[in-house]
Amino acid sequence: MKTLVYPRLLLSLILLFWMANAGATITLVGTSGDSTGNPGTGFTLSRPGGTASGDVLLAQLTTRRMNNVSTASGWTLLQHNISGELEMRTFLRVAQESEPTQYTWGLTPDPGAPGLVRIAGAIASYRGVDPLSPIGGQGHQSGSGNTVTAPSLTVGPAGGQLVTLFANANGGATLTTPGGMTSVSFQQIGAGPNGATIRVTHEPRESGPTGSRVSTSGTSTNWVAQSFVLNSGAAMGPHHIRLLHSGQGLTCTSVPVTVQACADADCSALFTDPVDVSLATSLSGGTWSQNPVPVTGETTVHLRYLAGGAITLLASAPAATNETQCVNTSGGPPCQITFADVGVLLDGDGDDGITKSDVPEQIAGKPSNTGYNAAVQRVRVVRTDDETGACVAGLQNAELTAQFSYLVPVATDGLADNTLIIQAATTATLTSSGAPESVNLMFGSDGSAPFSFQSMDAGRYALRVDLDIPVFDESNNPTGDVIPSYDTSNMFVVRPLAVYVGAVDNPAAADHEGDPFKKAGEVFDLTFKSLRWQPGLDGNGDGRWDGCGSVMLSDPGVYAWVPAWNIGQPAVDLTLPTGGINPGLTYSSGDAVFAQGTSETAAEVSFGEVGIIRFETSVAFQGVGVDVCSSNIGRFTPDHFHVALVNQPSFQPACGTFTYLSQPFTYATAPQVRITARNRDGAITQNYDGPWWRLSHISPDYSHGGPDSLPDGVVFVEMATHDDPIQCNGCQGEVTVGFGGEFTYDRNGDPVDPINGAVRVEFEVVDADGVAFPGNPFVFTIGFEGGNDEQRWGRLEMQNAHGPELLPLTVPMYTTYFRDGAFRLNTEDNCTAIDASDIALDIQLSGGTTSASVVNTPASGGRLDVRLNAPGAGNTGYVDVTPDISVSNGADLPWLTFDWDGDGTLRGPEARATFGVYGGNERHIYIRELP
């Protein structure tokens, strides 16, 4: 849940608005909504009509194939949940005096999904929401199917509004309104399986669990559901004031009275703001230790009444919205206390110097005189001194039989079948509320008899002692008469020692090398067990289980029953990695609740990150804290990998617009593949980092990727590289793997027509724990820039030349490639380069010499040509011209060699240039001179 921060002036205005509207329930002011395909870089929703300063706005944005949505100005992101390509984001805003008429969210569509980006959104404006703490709870679930379930939440004492938001990945689907709820907004993008549908519903709720809410769709697809509780701003005071007392008092001392400001009808929660309570009694003479009394939750005051007899307690608080209630722990009239001159007092701490003290907080199974809060309880027989009015011993050095019982003043706070053991001069075991058992008490010279007790189960109880006090005459002889008397202790809490949390088959890993337990986001079962104290569990007597915080904490196997107890959704600590992200547990089954009279409950939960967690927290039980402890739970791994190209890779044609077979080619844009570890909902597991990153290698396989299979005699050869090993130090669950290398389609046979030179790359993504990319193998095909993907079977050719010895002679040299059964001039070859130094000349002239130069290098339109200098007059003969295109010494053009002799040896061409010999006309068959 986000913490909202407002400027001081705005805060003042909101407070004024809120106070002016105090007492109002939460109401829907208005809605707005829209949906579109291919929205560009922004999405705008209008302000709902009627919205005024202090109103609280909820915005739901659901997208398909959207890389990012930036938060609109003045809004706060509450949740972002993912299910496949479907993403739902919910934002909150408190309206200001000068509220914009519309709001725009920035968008970053997925560039790899042109024409398929979708967004739908809705805003609901509410009035009567607490503007300083608008969100009382939130949760989400996601999955796939046609049943869309929003999780249960707990509404606070003041009540509130339950708002549920549903989305699924089909633009024509129906999402029904859950039973008991009202539809607020409904949007369909259209586009069928490429679209999305959203629905917003709400329902006013009293305090307590809401239960899950289900929307159904006729289409089975990915879905996300969210639940929010809007806090009511209407509760300005407590529900009522409650007075708790024992029903009995003595005129020689005061009686403690607990004053509670209750936040709800059954006082299951206390109102924590200060409240002034005025106290009174039905008869005059009652004196309060403080009156009026400020109450923050609860406090204790003392009442003294010297006159004796029965009086009725009265209390009032202007802020309370209902009449005062009373609880008489002895079971008598609720608001009545009877004061007597002689009686018994049940002293909760007999050694603190106070005549009557409260029984302190106890731990189930622990004797009251042992360990934490150890105290000796006492039953005192006292009377009011006739002269001083003080309490003096009314009985000394005697053994009397008393009746002990335990009470459950508030039925829902305790167990009527608890087992409670009284230890005094004799021992009694109490097994039923209100059912007394006899116990012998040994009274000493101070008029008190010590005892202790042990409650085996948890709850809120009171002890009652009934005693017939013998009457003595003036000579201190018993008359045979008795004065029946009783006293009741304060309501005291007996809590479990702790709550032990276990997970089935949990390996309790100690570090990143420990055995994996579950995948991030995978649902698993937790058991919560309320523990009973036993020797050795709290060795230092601090009231806490010594084992809490241990890596390998085991179940001690002794349990205390509890009354109905909602422990909520206890939080976990992230044990490892240190400093990692802790998203908390998602309780898909709602709050963990102990049923009345049980010691165990369960919950279905998931943890959306990588690492190891542990329960080291506390929950409230009857107003006191109880530790919640577990061993290490984990190790949690990613659920899966998401793998995607982050660029559009391509090859650079080796020769402009094509590549020769056997000619190496490389990347124009080398592939970059992003591998992202994700949880079951599709969110990145950012703790998958450093030593927790367990994907060290991939093994790409490269093959021909063209539409047709390779012809005989053509073999694909790769000398590829990629980042290896894959390293992640600070990558937060996401790495980009770079690729490189050189590739060749080698020719080893007869000439073939051009082929498509695309390359197919595939590899598995699986880490050391078996976490994998669901679409394994990941496959992509790389083509050539500009679609220039032809691989041509080429060769270098030459032709003979003839000419006079007085002029330079050009020897044709050019590149050709094979197509449709013949070689043809490769007019697109503007890359082949042969230097003059690569031209060998065998000069057979009658005199003089010549030298060679290359006319075009690199080639122009496939032509290179060799020019020989004129050898001069009379220097006739021939010159054999042989270009060296070998790898070792020549121009390094092996892809242009050819088997000219049919002997299996590939080489370059050769030609003869003849000087001083007429070569004739190639068009003449025969010519001679006539006489």
pLDDT tens per residue, range 41-56:
889 999 998 888 888 9
What is residue 410's predicted lDDT score, i.e. its pLDDT?
92
Residue 120 forms beta bridges with which residues? Answer: 35, 62
At residue 115, the pLDDT reads: 66
* Calpha distance 16→233 (Å, rounded): 12
Q: pLDDT for 783-807, tens place per residue?
A: 999 999 999 999 999 999 999 999 9
**In 10 A of CB 479, how many CB atoms?**
9
Distances (CA, A) of 297 to 72, 232, 277, 617: 40, 19, 12, 23
Note the pLDDT of residue 24.
47
Q: Tens digit of pLDDT for each residue in 440-477?
A: 999 999 999 999 999 999 999 999 999 999 998 888 88
Amino acid present at 136: G
Q: pLDDT tens digits for 266-289?
A: 888 888 889 999 999 999 889 999
- Listed in sequence order, the DSSP H helices in 369-493 are none
Per residue in 857-893, pLDDT (tens digit) is 999 999 999 999 999 999 999 999 999 999 888 899 9
pTM exceeds 0.85? no
Lowest-confidence segment of 130-134, 397-401, 430-434, 758-762 by average pLDDT: 130-134
Structure letter (DSSP) for residue 515: P
| pLDDT band at residue 170 under the 50/70/90 scheme | confident
Q: Residue 631: is its pLDDT beyond 90?
A: yes
User: What is the torsional sign of CA 327, 330, 336, 337?
Assistant: negative
User: Left (φ > 0), alpha (ψ -120 to 50) or beta: where does 123 sit?
Assistant: beta
Average pLDDT (815-822) is: 97
The 10s digit of each residue's pLDDT in 291-305 is 999 999 999 999 999
pLDDT of residue 929 exceeding 70: no
Q: How far is CA 673 from each of CA 642, 718, 731, 780, 816, rounded to the nearest angstrom? A: 10, 19, 14, 10, 38
Per-residue confidence (pLDDT) for residue 65, from 0 to 100? 75
Burial label, 723 (beta-carbon count in 10 A; 0-12, 13-18, 19+): middle
DSSP string, 47-87: PPTT--TT-EEEEEEEEESEEEEEPPTT-EEEEEEEETTEE
Structural tokens at position 609: 């990150």
Give the per-residue pLDDT at 456: 98
Tell me what the pLDDT averaged over the chain comes to: 91
DSSP 765: -
pLDDT beyond 60 at 8: no
- Looking at residues 227-232, what average pLDDT do you find? 90
pLDDT at 428 over 90: yes
**Per-position DSSP letters for 317-331, written without gaps between them:** -TT-SS--EEEETTS
Q: What is the pLDDT of residue 263?
A: 85
In three-state form (DSSP H/G/I as H, E/B as E, the rest C), the secondary structure along 853-912 is EECCCCCECCECCEEECCCCCCCCEEEEEEECCCCCCCCCCHHHCECCCCCCCCECCCEE
Number of H helices, E strands in the chain: 1, 71
pLDDT at 922 over 80: no
Cis peptide bond upstream of 653, omega within 30: no
Distance between CA 622 and CA 458 in Å, rounded? 10
The confidence score (pLDDT) of residue 651 equals 98
Nearest-angstrom CA–CA distance, 615 and 609: 16
Asked if the model's pLDDT at residue 623 lies above 60, the reply is yes
User: How many Å apart are CA 27 and CA 46, to the nearest integer?
Assistant: 19
Query: CB-based burial of residue 67 (10 Å sphere; 0-12 exposed, 13-18 middle, 19+ buried)?
Result: middle
Using an 8 Å Cβ cutoff, are 458 and 224 in contact? no
- Of 930, 76, 139, 91, give the one whose Cα is nearest residue 591: 139
* pLDDT attached to residue 655: 97
Closest CA to 77 of 102, 95, 56, 60: 60
Q: Which amino acid is at 930?
A: L
- β-strands 624-629, 524-530 pairing: unpaired
> Region 742-756: what's the mean pLDDT?
96
Q: With contact defined as beta carbons under 8 Å apart, do 580 and 686 qualify?
A: yes
pLDDT of amino acid 234: 54
d(CA 386, CA 390): 8
Report whether pLDDT(923) > 70.
no
CB of 241 within 8 A of CB of 282?
A: no
Q: Average pLDDT of 633-638?
A: 97
Inform me whether the pLDDT recorded for 406 exceeds 80: yes
The confidence score (pLDDT) of residue 794 equals 98
> What is the SS3 assignment for 20?
helix
| 128-132, 245-249, 413-417 — most confident range | 413-417
Distance of CA 747 to the CA centre of its chain: 55
Give 7's pLDDT tier (boundaries 50, 70, 90). Answer: very low
Which of 119-133, 180-194, 464-478, 756-770 has the lowest average pLDDT?
A: 180-194
Are 755 and 686 in contact by the 8 Å Cβ rule? The answer is no
Higher pLDDT, 49 or 416: 416
Q: Say which residue, 635 or 42, is predicted with more confidence.
A: 635
Q: How far apart are CA 343 and CA 383, in angstroms?
A: 6
The number of beta carbons lying within 10 Å of the beta carbon of residue 266 is 14
**Is pLDDT of 14 > 50?**
no
Angle at 336 between CA 334 and CA 337, to 5 degrees: 125
Give the residue among 528, 523, 522, 530 at the shortest CA–CA distance from 502: 528
Tokens representing 198? 């959203």
Write the CB contacts of 928 (distance below 8 Å, at least 6 apart in sequence): none
Contact 278, 315 (CB under 8 A): yes
